[in-house]
């Protein structure tokens, strides 16, 4: 079955992945999901024979409807040739019997590089079909901003605006963003915390006046946050690739289950793992690791999501998040795709 995408909040208007990449977020405020996820599995035995790019091609072919095979090859080559420290892209290292997936070997040293090196290419292919230009709006708690600006720097027909919470990103992150080159990048400090910045960006996406104004210049709004499926789907790849490396190292047998512990903020990374599991990756458990802003720990332990709590500034600002956007996608699947329920929540 060809994957199609719908809002988590309404059972209507199926669109291709390509269209969903362009739109970023559904007009009703929901996130794009594929209702059929999990009905078909990827061939694990085949995947573990491939390299990173090969696995990427399999995952993208299964999920990214609307793109031709050549377009996907092009995106993968542009993103993952020469931009990371080595062709391994995301090496797994043995640290005293604990296996660490090193996601920080990309151009800006943020794990977000894995997805943000390829999203601009997905978007630029989608734009080619429409003759339009895209303005990317992105909220960042620190890492996304630099990785996104770096990924979009001077990519044709795109521009990017990044919003970060004033005085709430690290000194290095501030300098990384403030010194970004490119004629199509802009960065703004916002009074408030990350959640304020993200809420504001979400509001801009739903602003009909702004949309109309931009439409006159053939500009569409899109997002580089992990609410965009073009950000989420590339992250599925490294779960399979990590598994392949463990098999190759002789740590596990093919088919054996593994667990992942995932530092979590906006719930994109760990959700990509959940998607990988739905696509057939043998997983025992995902550990959703929080810092002092442990709204997700509480939710998963007690079933209550209480964002009305003090926002604690920590040394891991990328996890200082109280409104964990991608959780909505998990709720969609966990509620057996009950869009009414999700919209209500
Ligand atoms: C973004 C980020 C996180 C949070 O990842 P999510 O996908 O938003 O859950 C955790 N750690 C670091 C270093 C990050 O950059």
How far apart are the CA of 132 and the centre of ligand 1, in A?
31
- Nearest-atom number in ligand 1 for the CA of 265 is 9
pLDDT confidence band for 223 (50 / 70 / 90): confident
Q: Is 154 left (phi over 0), alpha (psi -120 to 50) or beta?
A: left
- Please tell me the distance between residue 1's alpha carbon and the centre of ligand 1 in angstroms: 32
How far, in Å, from the CA of 110 to the mean position of ligand 1? 9
- Nearest alpha carbon to residue 72 among 84, 85, 62: 62
Among 15-29, 252-266, 268-282, the minimum mean pLDDT is found in 15-29
Locate the ligand 1 atom nearest the alpha carbon of residue 266 and give its number: 8
Q: What is the pLDDT of residue 16?
A: 97
Is 93 one of the catalytic residues?
no
Q: How far is CA 338 from CA 6, 154, 302, 342, in A?
A: 12, 41, 21, 6
Identify whether the C-beta of residue 187 lies closer than 8 Å to the C-beta of residue 99: no
Tell me the whole-structure pTM to 2 decimals. 0.93
**C-beta of residue 89 within 8 angstroms of C-beta of residue 238:** yes
Q: What is the per-residue pLDDT for 23?
A: 87
The alpha carbon of 264 and the centre of ligand 1 are apart by a number of angstroms equal to: 6
Q: What pLDDT was estimated at residue 226?
A: 82
* Ligand 1 atom closest to residue 321's alpha carbon, by position in its atom list: 8
Domain 243-344 has CATH 1.10.10.60: no
**Mean pLDDT, the chain, integer:** 94
Q: What pLDDT is attached to residue 258?
A: 98
Give, using CA atoms, the residue closest to atom 2 of ligand 1: 318
Residue 202 Cβ < 6 Å to ligand 1? no
Residue 114 exposed, middle or buried by CB count within 10 Å (0-12, 13-18, 19+): buried
pLDDT at 2: 87
Q: Which atom of ligand 1 is nearest to the CA of 264?
A: 9
* C-beta of 265 in contact with ligand 1 (< 6 A): yes
Number of Cβ within 10 Å of residue 141's Cβ equals 24
pLDDT at 143: 84
In the prediction, which pLDDT does 1 show? 66
Residue whose Cα lies nearest atom 1 of ligand 1: it is 318
Q: What is the DSSP letter of 165?
A: E
Mean pLDDT of 65-93: 96
Q: 110 CB under 6 A from ligand 1?
A: yes
d(CA 295, CA 69): 41
Catalytic-role residue among 112, 125, 146, 168: 112
Range of weakest confidence among 199-203, 233-237, 270-274: 199-203
pLDDT, one tens digit per residue, over 111-157 is 999 999 999 999 999 999 999 999 999 999 888 899 999 999 988 89
Query: In the chain, where are the structural domains located?
Result: 243-344
């Amino acid at each position: 079955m060809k994957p199609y995408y719908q809002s988590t909040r309404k059972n209507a208007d199926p669109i291709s992945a390509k269209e969903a990449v362009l739109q970023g977020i559904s007009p009703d405020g929901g996130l794009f999901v594929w209702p059929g996820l999990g009905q078909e599995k990827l061939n694990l035995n085949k995947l573990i024979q491939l390299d990173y790019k090969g696995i990427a091609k399999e995952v993208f072919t299964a999920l990214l409807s609307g793109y031709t095979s050549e377009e996907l090859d092009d995106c993968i080559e542009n993103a993952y040739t020469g931009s990371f420290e080595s062709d391994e892209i995301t090496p797994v290292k043995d640290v005293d019997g604990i296996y660490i997936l090193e996601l920080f070997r990309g151009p800006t040293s943020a794990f977000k590089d894995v997805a943000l090196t390829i999203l601009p290419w997905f978007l630029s292919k989608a734009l080619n079909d429409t003759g339009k230009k895209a303005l990317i709006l992105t909220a960042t708690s620190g890492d996304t901003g630099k990785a996104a600006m770096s990924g979009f720097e001077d990519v044709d027909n795109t521009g990017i605006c990044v919003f970060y919470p004033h005085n709430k990103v690290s000194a290095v992150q501030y300098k990384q963003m403030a010194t970004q080159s490119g004629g199509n990048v802009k960065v703004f400090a916002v009074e408030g915390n990350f959640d304020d910045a993200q809420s504001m960006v979400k509001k801009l996406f739903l602003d009909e006046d702004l949309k109309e104004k931009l439409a006159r210049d053939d500009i569409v709004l899109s997002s580089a946050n992990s609410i965009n499926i073009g950000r989420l789907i590339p992250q599925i790849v490294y779960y399979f690739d990590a598994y392949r490396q463990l098999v190759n190292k002789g740590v596990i047998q093919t088919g054996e289950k593994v667990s992942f512990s995932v530092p979590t903020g906006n719930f994109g990374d760990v959700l990509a793992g959940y998607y990988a599991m739905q696509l057939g990756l043998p997983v025992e458990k995902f550990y959703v690791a929080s810092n002092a802003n442990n709204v997700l720990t509480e939710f998963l332990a007690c079933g209550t999501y209480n964002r009305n709590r003090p926002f604690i500034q920590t040394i891991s600002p990328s996890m200082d998040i109280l409104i964990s956007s991608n959780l909505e996608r998990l709720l969609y699947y966990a509620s057996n795709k009950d869009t009414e329920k999700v919209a209500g929540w």
